[in-house]
Amino acid sequence: MATVPIPQSRVDDATPVAIVSGGSRGLGLAVVERLLERGDRVATFSRGRSGRLDDLTARHPGELFATTLDAADPVAVASFVGATIARFGRIDSCVANAAIAAEGVLATTADALIAELLAVNIQGSIVLVRECVRQWLVQPRPPTPDGTGSAVMVSSSVAARGSPGLSVYAATKGALESFARSLAREVGSRGIRVNCVAPGFLETDLSASLPAGDRARLVRRTPLGRLGMPADVVGAIDFLTSRRSAFITGQTITVDGGGGF
Ligand SMILES: NC(=O)c1ccc[n+]([C@@H]2O[C@H](COP(=O)([O-])OP(=O)(O)OC[C@H]3O[C@@H](n4cnc5c(N)ncnc54)[C@H](OP(=O)(O)O)[C@@H]3O)[C@@H](O)[C@H]2O)c1
């Protein structure tokens, strides 16, 4: 992980702090923007930087901590969460968004690709949430019954619906939904909430390779008549990481325009 100086000035600040993995582009970047807009301080990571994330960091000095690391490296993920706590003093919500997708029939999918999908999408997300839960178990609870921390796992509508050529990717998302249901039961008594958001097909880099014919078919099958944009999904994540959803845990909200697959 890249080293950054840690200003201590805001460590005692009670302003909410959100962690968002994969904030350099696509849905993660849109979530980072929304959470900054609502007044949170935000920490994010990705393997690379992007111009838009660099601009955002320059516009929000002291409020946005962005660094580079690989979600598949559990030591780096734990160290990032530690650096976030050292910098901001607390964590209030966590959005496990970073993921990779790979399309192809299972029969020709190599071991290395399967291992990478599992390491980034499942292990990376689970380790991130584990580190946040460790913090939430020791972080003072607010004097309201609204809870201590909220984790949101970014799943996909293919987890529930299935899609040919996406079996391994879909399995990683199904694992996150299953993880969220059990963890919600495990930590609910401590005021910690765990939910999922399952987007349908979105217009992002992840889906850029979709052939035009497949794209047109998806649009035809979507009741709301278009593919989703990151902005369409951000509202559900904003809601689940806010006190407005204080009595919701162990759930998956599907945001797919009515179902396109
Ligand atoms: N796009 C869709 O159609 C769609 C549909 C349903 C669900 N989703 C889900 O929505 C989430 C966001 O997808 P998106 O479309 O916004 O994807 P995207 O445009 O490809 O962005 C993915 C983000 O995750 C980061 N990332 C990927 N691998 C990483 C790794 N190993 N370590 C650290 N960061 C990593 C990327 O940055 P670097 O590459 O620089 O690391 C980037 O910031 C994902 O969980 C995806 O599965 C997407």
What distance lies between CA 242 and its chain's CA centroid? 15
Strand partners, 152: 95, 195
**Mean pLDDT over residues 90-111, rounded?**
97
Tokens 């097909």 — which residue? 201
Q: Which of 45, 65, 136, 169 is catalytic?
A: 169
Report which ligand 1 atom has the smallest distance to the Cα of 96: 45
**Mean pLDDT over residues 34-47, rounded?**
98
Q: pLDDT tens digits for 134-179?
A: 999 999 877 666 778 999 999 999 999 999 999 999 999 999 999 9
pLDDT greater than 60 at residue 127: yes
Strand partners, 60: none
pLDDT-based confidence at 10, cuts 50/70/90? low
Tell whether domain 17-254 is in CATH 3.40.50.300.
no
DSSP, collapsed to helix, strand or coil, labels residue 208 as coil
State the maximum Cα–Cα separation within the chain, in Å, rounded to a whole number: 55
Q: pLDDT tens digits for 211-246?
A: 888 888 889 999 999 999 999 999 999 999 999 999
CA distance 214 to 223: 16
Q: Is 24 in the pocket of ligand 1 (CB under 6 A)?
A: yes
Nearest residue CA, atom 19 of ligand 1? 26
**Torsion angles phi and psi, residue 130, rounded to 5:** -60, -45
pLDDT-based confidence at 260, cuts 50/70/90? low
Q: Quick one: pLDDT at residue 4?
A: 52
Q: Output the six-digit token pair for 104.
A: 């192809």
Assess contact for 197 and 241: CB atoms under 8 A. Answer: no
Q: Quick one: pLDDT at residue 1?
A: 58
Q: Quick one: pLDDT at residue 153?
A: 98
Q: Is 71 in the pocket of ligand 1 (CB under 6 A)?
A: yes
Please indicate whether residue 169 is annotated as part of the active site: yes
**Mean pLDDT over residues 3-17, rounded?**
68
pLDDT-based confidence at 261, cuts 50/70/90? low
Which of 33, 34, 47 has most ligand 1 atoms within 8 Å of its beta carbon, as the pocket-test mutant? 47
Q: Is 196 in the pocket of ligand 1 (CB under 6 A)?
A: no
Rg value, the chain, Cα: 18
Assess contact for 68 and 48: CB atoms under 8 A. Answer: yes
What is the residue extent of each domain of the chain? 17-254
Report which ligand 1 atom has the smallest distance to the Cα of 30: 16
Of the listed ranges 49-53, 88-92, 108-112, 141-145, the one predicted with least confidence: 141-145
CA distance 162 to 147: 34
CA distance 258 to 137: 37
Q: Quick one: pLDDT at residue 2?
A: 55
Question: Mean of the per-residue pLDDT values for the chain?
Answer: 93
Which of 53, 69, 75, 97 has most ligand 1 atoms within 8 Å of its beta carbon, as the pocket-test mutant? 97
Q: Quick one: pLDDT at residue 142?
A: 72
Nearest residue CA, atom 25 of ligand 1? 22
Alpha helix stretches (DSSP H) within the chain: 26-37, 51-59, 74-88, 111-117, 124-138, 158-161, 167-187, 212-221, 230-240
